Chain A
Amino acid sequence: MIRRVVAVAQNTFKEAVRDKVLYILVIFALCLLLSSYVIAPLALGEGGKILRDLGLSLVPLFGLAIVVILGTALVYKEMERRTIYILVSKPLRRWEFLLGKYLGLLLVLAVVALLMTLFFYGVLYWFYGGGEARLLWGIWMSFLELAVIAAVAIFFSSLSSPTLSAVFTLAIYVAGHWTQDLRAFSAKLPGSGLKGLGTFFYYALPNLEFFNVKNDVVHGIAVNPSHALWALGYAVLYSSALLALASAIYERKSFK
């Protein structure tokens, strides 16, 4: 089972890397470098903080771009191009296929995040003599957030077209950052039905603000390791549940 999942994951990774997805790194590098040159003379001594804030915002933003561009088409492309016929006619379970696709996407995100982090620290070193290790917490939490969004993208990609999947994934990303407000808002709604609906969405949508520790790490506040551990558990559980749901639906699917 593991061999088959790894084979699909590696296949996905190779295809993505050769499909020029890593070009996104060049854009990241240019954005960061350009911003650094612009910020330095204008920031009145706060340039270091601004650059740290910017770097920690750009890493998840570019990761999100990869998820939307690559992840939302990942499964659909296999059905559209009929490469899925080759795979499902072999002793590969459909859930193994979806898991392999997801892990392949995670591998792409991990490599891209690693390279962006290295470049980020390089720029910090170049302009401000170096960056603190605590910034890594921020990047790690962003990666966990991306892992959840990647599962959302794979879920939609197995059900609908890339354009719709991209719209749904972005909608979930935005809504996922507003779940606390959604809860507060639904508490004020009249009627138990509406309240219940609000509560349902609060629990069903991913709580992405849980992964947001950017302000803390930029301002030197240490991240609680137990919070990071909970975040890991939450990301694993949420992604697993979503992939299980996608697999259950995918299991019944006919490929035309």
Chain B
Amino acid sequence: MPQVVLRTESLCKKYQTHFWSKIKVALHDLNLEVNSGEVFGFLGPNGAGKTTSIKAIFHIVRPTTGRAYIFGKDVGRHPGVLAKVGFLPENPYFYDHLKGTEFLDTCARLFGMSKPERRRRIAELLGLVGLEDSGDVQLRKYSKGMLQRIGLAQALVNNPDLVILDEPLTGLDPLGRKQVKDLILSLKEQGRTVFFSSHILPDVEMLCDRVGIIWQGRLVKTGRLDQLLSEKVESVELTVDSLEQKFRPEVSSLAAKTVERDDKLMLTFGDQPAADKALKLCLERGGRVVSFIPQRRSLEQVFLEEVKP
């Protein structure tokens, strides 16, 4: 049984700008569990409640009701548990007049790290995020991508067991995105838990073990990525070569769509059993199988289905 690292219990956030204005519910009863060692993708369109959920977990916004537990401890009552957590906010802002190293040093001091430990860790992190030449530059001179990277470095300064990243891939160029993705995968390899929000679905599909989809402040779907996607096998494509003409109608009759090109026969099946039957038939009739591909739905399709207005 995997250990639950992050758990929210009916987390709810209501806002009221003025006492006369209408109460807006930004987050409805969020019940979520993230297990140790997994990469969890938190998906949702802009304004769906991703950032509010994360802020409520950290008590950056005080939840109206409900609780967030990290490593079994209520964050509101035991803020000390945050010593095991790293956090990168969305579009992070930092102190303009501090240098990269000074900023990381301040963050490290908040975790009570000693001076030699801080020095070693800061050099290591600057190398990890590719800012080893910019540590002595004031943060106001950093580009957006560099700020995102220094943000990642500060999130990892304490060697956290749980890393929570709010839109970590936003604002990065393709190279920067690849570096962040590699970083997330290396964190997973080290056995750390990563929870990140994003709306860049192919990246989520590539990185996550499990996902949760939030829409209008409600968690509408959670599950293992492979399950969510395999549930949604749309069609199966079978391509065979060297199948004699006389056997082709028999096989084609099972398919929803058939295309013949040269010596190849490309068949599309609406369901898996028909495809399995046709595959068996082709092999028995001496055909050579070039490919057999179940066409699953992309995460994007699953996502769009869930967040339909």
| Extra inter-chain contacts (7) besides given A254-B61, A255-B61, CB under 8 Å | A7-B109, A7-B110, A8-B106, A14-B97, A85-B89, A89-B89, A256-B61
Whole-angstrom CA separation of A8 from B85 in the bound complex? 19
- Check if A86 sits within 8 Å of B79, measured CB to CB: no
User: Given A14-B102, A86-B154: A254 and B110 within 8 A (CB)?
Assistant: no
Q: A3-B112, A7-B110, A11-B106 are in contact. Are A88 and B89 (CB under 8 A)?
A: no
Residues of A within 8 A of B98 (CB): 11, 14-15, 18
B60 pairs with A19, CB closer than 8 A: no
Chain A residues whose C-beta falls within 8 Å of the C-beta of B87 in the assembled complex: 85-86, 89-90
Query: In the docked arrangement, what's the CA distance between A15 and B138, Å?
Result: 11
> Is B94's beta carbon under 8 Å from chain A?
yes
One of A7, A18, A88, A92 near B97 (C-beta < 8 A)? A18
- If over half of A's interface residues share one DSSP class (helix, strand or loop), that class is named, otherwise mixed; here it is helix
* Interface pair A82/B61, CB less than 8 Å apart: no
Q: How far is it, in angstroms, between the C-alpha of A81 and the C-alpha of B89 when the chains are bound?
A: 12
User: Measured between C-beta atoms, what is the minimum distance from B284 to chain A in Å?
Assistant: 62
**Please, how many angstroms separate the alpha-carbon atoms of A7 and B110 in the complex?**
7
Say whether B92 contacts A85, CB under 8 Å: yes
Q: Check A88–B94 contact: CB distance below 8 A.
A: no
Judge if A252 is at the interface, Cβ distance under 8 Å. Answer: yes
**B95 adjacent to A11 (CB under 8 Å):** yes
Bound-complex Cα distance A252 to B76 (A): 11
Q: Contacts of A89 on B, CB cut-off 8 Å?
A: 58, 60, 82, 85, 87, 89
Whether A83 contacts B95 by the Cβ 8 Å rule is yes
Q: Is the CB of A15 within 8 A of B107?
A: no
A82 lies within 8 A of B59 (CB): no
Q: Which of B137-160 contact A (CB under 8 A)?
A: 138, 151, 154, 158
How extensive is the interface on chain A, given as a class?
20 to 34
Which of chain B's residues have a CB closer than 8 A to the CB of A14? 97-98, 102
B80 is an interface residue with CB less than 8 A from chain A: yes
Shortest distance between the CB of A98 and any CB in chain B (Å): 15
Bound: A8/B154 CA distance, A: 15
Complex interface residues of chain A between 1 and 50 (CB less than 8 A to chain B): 3-4, 6-8, 10-11, 14-15, 18-19
Q: Is A87 part of the contact surface with B, judged by Cβ < 8 Å?
A: yes
- In the complex, the chain B residue whose C-beta lies closest to that of A251 is B62
A183 within 8 A of B: no
B61 touches A86 (CB 8 A): no
Q: Cβ of A225 < 8 Å from any Cβ of B?
A: no
Chain A residues positioned under 8 Å from B95 (CB to CB):
11, 15, 83
The reply on B83 being an interface residue by CB < 8 A is yes
Residue in A closest to B105 when the chains form the complex, CB atoms:
A7
Let me know if A93 is at the binding interface, CB within 8 A: yes
Please give, as numbers and ranges, the residues of chain B lying within 8 Å of A3 by CB-CB distance.
109, 112
B90 to chain A, nearest CB (A): 9
B62–A86 contact, CB under 8 A? no
Across the interface, which residues of A come within 8 angstroms of B151, CB to CB?
86
